[in-house]
Amino acid sequence: MIARMNDYERIASAIRYLDRHHTTQPHLNALAQSVGLSPFHFHRLFSTWAGITPKDFLQCLTLEHARSLLRTGDNVLDAALTAGLSGPGRLHDLCVALEAASPGEMKSGGAGLTIQYGVAITPFGDALIGETARGICHLSFLNGNGRAGAHHLLLEQWPAAELQRNDKRAAKLAAQIFARPETEMRPRLRAFVRGTPFQLRVWRALLRVPRGALTSYGRLSAAINQPTAARAVGSAVGANPVAFLIPCHRVIRETGVLGNYRWDPIRKRAILAWELAAHSTVNAHAA
């Protein structure tokens, strides 16, 4: 478990190094040295974690690559909103049924609910995952505030619920949520969230943005028939209570800049590149 966490920290460190030195297009030796590994071990780590070579992975992080994806975003998002799919790659993506808490349940703060929660290892570091009998209600990556901060955030979202620690269940959920798309089909996952009607519209639209595709705040607002509400859409995206499961990381700025991310912009870049690499691999196998 510790080794897996170290893997992500090294990947994140390599991305930070690229942010500082991208103009020089650093070679494999420099990247390996920046994380304290030999070129051989760094190449193996990257290939195991991302499923592709460091060179191909880094291509997924470039601004021009993001812009090219965004230029095709209209067609992809339109198709996804219309049919719920966008080509064969979507069949390998996460299938999430989103259920909203009722106004009474929102007002009560989760009174009468039991939430099993735990900390699990993911490809992007430790995450706290909470689940009720009606679905996954919380997923947050541990940032600088650690487990105590993540636990406090869960309590803020569901202040009156009964919390029961269950790390084994969290680990099982993490394995399903973060499974690579080339693995066998996973069971349909359920999410149970507290949110306003507007937030729910935004989150449901996000669920239709497929792996390997990006959209912008403006296009997302147009998709819910609120073309002038990009700022409010941005707030709803930022309030997403189940990171990764509702893919708020797939929203970038109109310029192609990846922008901020509640759980660290470096993690957002790592997630996007990981998804894009997996999407490309699946499509190559399908061809």
pLDDT given at position 92? 33
List residues bridging with 192 in a β-sheet: 99
Same fold, 2-59 and 69-286: yes
pTM metric for this prediction: 0.81
CA distance 163 to 147: 15
Residue 54 C-alpha from the chain's centroid:
20
pLDDT given at position 127? 95
CA distance 243 to 212: 17
CA distance 132 to 126: 20
The answer to whether domain 2-59 has CATH 1.10.10.60 is yes
CA distance 11 to 8: 5
Continuous H helices in 1-145: 2-21, 28-34, 39-50, 54-59, 63-71, 73-83, 103-108
pLDDT given at position 61? 59
Active-site residue (options: 60, 95, 137, 248): 248
Is 248 among the residues known to form the active site?
yes
Q: Give the chain's residues under pLDDT 70.
A: 1-6, 22-23, 58-95, 144, 181-187, 255-257, 278-287
pLDDT given at position 182? 56
Q: What is the largest CA-CA distance in the chain?
A: 58
The CATH code of the domain at 69-286 is 1.10.10.10
Domain boundaries, the chain: 2-59, 69-286
